[in-house]
Structure 1
Amino acid sequence: MDIILQTDRLLLRPLEISDATDLFELNKNPNVHKYLWQKPEQVIDESIKIIEYVKRQYKENNIGRFATIIKETSEFIGWTGIKFVNDHVENGNTNFYDYGYRLDEKFWNKGYATEATQFWLNYGFNQMNIKTINAYTHAENGASNRILNKCGMNFMENYPDKDGVLWKWWQMNNPK
């Protein structure tokens, strides 16, 4: 997949194996995993497997999570993007488009997540002609829940995962 997208401050490009070290730095941080599954990565091979998985998604679904880079400094700050979920069931759903992001802690509270979210929702609806985009967040992740709400996603319901952890289900329909 040879596509580079951009916002005012960010470059968005497909993840590459060369991103493994940066991705590992992100994914080994326990604070990043606070509202995920509390399983920070222990070895870089885990990040390599994630990148290989995402690269398969690009081929199979023509979309997936993208490396997110600050234009001005070329710093890798995490990943953002849309993926097609067809490998598991989430809140009773499969075969749906999911928006998500994960940013390195040192880049939190700088507006990057909001900027990327606005871009990807616009891209998904206007370039990909997606009918509906979903997202799901840990119920206690106030920052992510505020970002999704601010960007126009609609909170649909709370739901428990298999371990009883409460998550929020978000949805936005194509405004066209």
Structure 2
Amino acid sequence: MAKVFIETSRLILREIVTEDVDRIFLLDSNPEVMKYIGVKPVTKLEESEETINKIRKQYHENGIARWAVIEKESNLLIGWSGLKLLTEPINGFKNVYELGYRFLPEFWGKGYATEAGKAVLDYGFNEINLEVIYACADIENLDSNKILKDKLGFESVGAFVDPLDNATCFWYELKKEKYSEM
């Protein structure tokens, strides 16, 4: 049974388990979902199994990783959201926590990324007592940048080129003190 971390009015955020492989494959094989990620869509179920194994390893080694987002109404995994400890440098940052999310297109525009993001930020700042949380988004991903800045309160503190795909990305931070004022 998957451990539930957060429940919101419409969502359950729980650990990702091996039984999620079909829905993770659906997510990561979708070209629309992967457009701004820096990696090509997966083509084999085994690739999604590897992804799940890596995430589960992060739970064990770092105590945290991305969580499955389950829509209560349908009981379907509609994406993932959560914090990840960056153990490899990104934009010169290492051993910091990054908020990320990814949702299936049919669930875009419904406020789920914002709802899950707020719940994850609350968890990060209030349950594990982080002082700052980071995020990044391809500058061309207008919707994700709007969510980070306008809906979740992140501030852009620069840009960098992602070595995975040479895309320029905004680098964001949100400090606990600013979050507490929201």
Q: TM-score, normalised by structure 1?
A: 0.95
Instruction: Identify the residue that residue 101 of structure 1 maps to in structure 2.
Output: 101
Structure with the higher helix share, 1 or 2:
2
Instruction: Identify the residue that residue 44 of structure 2 maps to in structure 1.
Output: 43
What amino acid maps onto 2:131 in structure 1? K
Contact 2:6 2:119 in 1 (8 A): no
How many residues align? The count is: 175
Contact 1:30 1:38 in 2 (8 A): no
What amino acid maps onto 1:152 in structure 2? G
Moved more, 112-121 or 159-168: 159-168
Structure 1 position 160, deviation (Å): 1.3
2:6 is the counterpart of 1:10: no
Q: TM-score, normalised by structure 2?
A: 0.92
Q: Percent identity?
A: 38
Distance 1:139 1:4 in 2: 31
What amino acid maps onto 1:128 in structure 2? I
User: For 1:122-157, what per-residue CA distance to the aligned partner results, in whole angstroms no more than 9, with x for missing partners?
Assistant: 110011101110011101100000001121111111
Structure 1 position 161, deviation (Å): 2.1
What amino acid maps onto 1:131 in structure 2? E
SS at 2:79 equivalent? strand
Contact 1:9 1:72 in 2 (8 A): yes
Give RMSD over aligned pairs: 1.2
What amino acid maps onto 2:108 in structure 1? W
Structure 1: 5+ residue stretches without partners = none
User: For 1:98-127, what per-residue CA distance to the aligned partner results, in whole angstroms no more than 9, with x for missing partners?
Assistant: 100000111000100011111111110011
Distance 2:38 2:28 in 1: 11
Distance 1:140 1:120 in 2: 24
2:138 is the counterpart of 1:138: yes
**TM alignment of 1:137-176, pairs within 5 A:** 137-150=137-150, 151-162=152-163, 163-175=165-177
